[in-house]
Structure 1
């Protein structure tokens, strides 16, 4: 048995990979079959990898404008490096390795085995999100990672760099065809080929003149359909970021208020407990010894009953206040935890929206470059032709080559 191997740089849509967003080609009934290897917060990964290096760098700076306040934001808004990269791997296509076909389970096993040693093979690529999708036509892997290098002499000693990270792993490019990325992808495809061989499958290598309708083609078709809407999507994403940031700030203000109320209630409870101790130990609240000539009735009427009555009134108030404080403390504690969970969800949503916005900005710049190279009329003509091909009468033909 022979099968092709697809290995490419992915779009890096974390919401799609995590299924926070579901595309039309996804069968939601099979989403439960997907395998999630890891799913970490990208911002937290940046703290883990680079905070110590940032602190060392800032400590050596004499000018405030050269200090780095937030390395994540520096990379996100810069143009030299991307926040993270994605590699997508697939065996065969929808016709010979379909997830619902006789070889779908075999494709899943091979990709799963390939993924198990990926991080070990690539120590300079920190994998923070990896998913094996089984709810599309063909099983395929999305591997998202932050490439980093250590021991740099200039700038941060530990920093983001795809080129240097791959170079540290032995992949050094020599020209436009043999780049670090291309050499690395070819090496990973060889690793995948070795796993395939253990399962009785040979790597079918197609000639460069043949177009393999794989993940790459699907991504190109999807980009053509979306390209005219990029500016609007960027604007909407930016608006979502502003709204989400406001929601996060509002929730944080709620936490501060709830913590103040909680502190006040704890203080009140301490006072109640102190009053109880006073009643237990203070002489004023103790029953005095009867005098020698005082009768039992007189002692009862003048000493015992007034003290008992007073104690009952105080204890009743104390018990009521204590129960009320206990209920309020429990309620406030639950409310505080709920607000913190809401903040966490909002911050995750904000991170996803920021990442989607960054991807859209990159695509928008690509579209502008395309217009400059080919001319706006030519680009519009190509897009109109593609849109016409996607009309209902032609949909079946357009989808015949899609794998994902």
Structure 2
């Protein structure tokens, strides 16, 4: 289960009504770190790099931990709670309590290695409540982010970096990851002789159409990402182009060039310094014009590529829609076929029952007239053998 996370409760800074303090010495503390220290360890360098790029003070981040605490999208940390069985089969006073403790201990010790993007800072095994269970608190984070700080808090992206990509409404990154962690615990349990009885948690395998639909959706997301990258390149080119266009020649300097007409000739004479300024301005103009033409070409090519990709995305989205429609039709057809099979099965059972009743009635009728079919068959077999 997912908990809100009460760090003081987990470390027994206070005791709830369901805790037996006389057993608290049996608890195990796997990890106990201050969350602010963990935030400094994970994010201080990224925060410094981010702030160095800002030109406005109001965009600087002074305390990343406080920023996340006030965020509406992310939480400063997440907590999971795991136990095996319940108070009736693995409770504190049962034979399996110690085995459950060993399984949970092994699971907790391997959690960080399995989940490198979920930084554990608080982890406790409780043996002073009804059933052995563990609390694991962690900070989900990603590196190499293109948005905001390059290292930042993100549960969705942290799970994605572990290989869990969101699909259907029920197959979210969190649900896929949670199922994988349950399986990891189940494998440890099996080594200790406990089999996982899945009560309402087993999901049927994806049908072929479901699989195809998810694959198309992955392709669409990948193309959306590529389009966003290309759009960023276009924005960069446009900014560079605008910068080039803003670099103009010093017209005031050229207008003030002193020109004198040569005697008995159409040529003009001007001071060497003015000539050099005019020559430099002409060269700059040629360079800027060529650079502008090249950037315009890159911009046109990038826009054409984006149009092409948008067309591909549109086509894929249509295919996904068609697959969803096909899936609905197949599910409807399967339901009809299943109803038909159930109906036919009921009719066959009824007919079979009627035949059995008729057979029984005929046997009784034959016996009343002194005929025993079973004995007759036995005599016939003996005669055939002779």
TM-score (norm 1): 0.49
Distance in 2 of aligned mates of 1:208 and 1:161: 26
1:12 equivalent to 2:20? Answer no
Query: Which residue does the alignment assign to 2:110?
Result: 117
2:177 to 171, 184, 203: 184
Please say if 1:162 is aligned against 2:173: no
- Alignment pair present for 1:100 and 2:100: no
Mean alpha-carbon deviation: is it higher for 170-179 or for 123-132? 170-179
Q: 1:30 aligned to 2:2? A: no
- Find the partner of 2:79 among 80, 86, 104: 86
Q: Which has the larger radius of gyration?
A: 2
- Name the structure 2 match of 1:58: 51
The 3-state SS of whatever aligns with 2:40 is: helix
If asked which structure has higher relative contact order (CA below 8 Å, sep 6+), I would say: 1
Corresponding residue of 2:142: 149
SS in 2 for 1:52: helix
Q: Which residue of 2 aligns with 1:202?
A: 195
Describe the superposition over 1:162-208 as per-residue Cα deviations: whole angstroms up to 9, x where unpaired: 00000000011113211111111100000000001101111101126
Residue 100 of structure 1: how far off its partner (Å): 2.1
Q: CA RMSD in A?
A: 1.1
The aligned counterpart of 2:166 is 173
Give 1:116 deviation, angstroms: 1.4
Q: What is the CA-CA distance between 1:48 and the residue it aligns to? A: 0.6
Aligned residues: 202
3-state DSSP of counterpart to 2:103:
helix
Could you tell me which residue of structure 2 aligns to residue 258 of structure 1? none
Deviations 1:36-68 (A, max 9, x none): 001100111101100000000000000000000
CA distance in structure 2 between the aligned counterparts of 1:189 and 1:67, rounded to whole angstroms: 41
Unpaired runs of 5+ in structure 2? 203-386
- In structure 2, the partner of 1:42 is 35
CA distance in 1, matches of 2:148, 2:122: 27
The residue correspondences of 1:223-242 to structure 2 (distance < 5 A) are none
Structure 1 residue 148: deviation in Å?
0.2
Once residues 200 and 167 of structure 2 are traced to their aligned partners in structure 1, the CA distance between those partners, rounded to angstroms, is 22
Corresponding residue for residue 262 of structure 2: none
SS at match of 2:121: strand
Deviations along 1:293-323, one digit per CA (max 9) or x if unpaired, are xxxxxxxxxxxxxxxxxxxxxxxxxxxxxxx
TM-score for both structures, normalised by structure 2? 0.52
| Aligned counterpart, 2:133 | 140
Query: 1:195-224 CA distances to partner (integer Å, 9 max, x unpaired)?
Result: 011011111011269xxxxxxxxxxxxxxx
Distance 1:172 1:61, change over 3 A: same
- SS of aligned partner of 1:117: helix
* Displacement over 6 Å in runs of 4+: none
Shift of 1:94: 0.4
Matched position secondary structure for 1:62: coil
> How far apart are the structure 1 equivalents of 2:141 and 2:66?
16
Of 175, 186, 191 in structure 2, the residue corresponding to residue 193 of structure 1 is 186
For residues 151 and 134 of structure 1, what CA distance do their matches in structure 2 show?
Answer: 40
Q: In the aligned structure 2, how far is the partner of 1:208 from the partner of 1:200?
A: 21
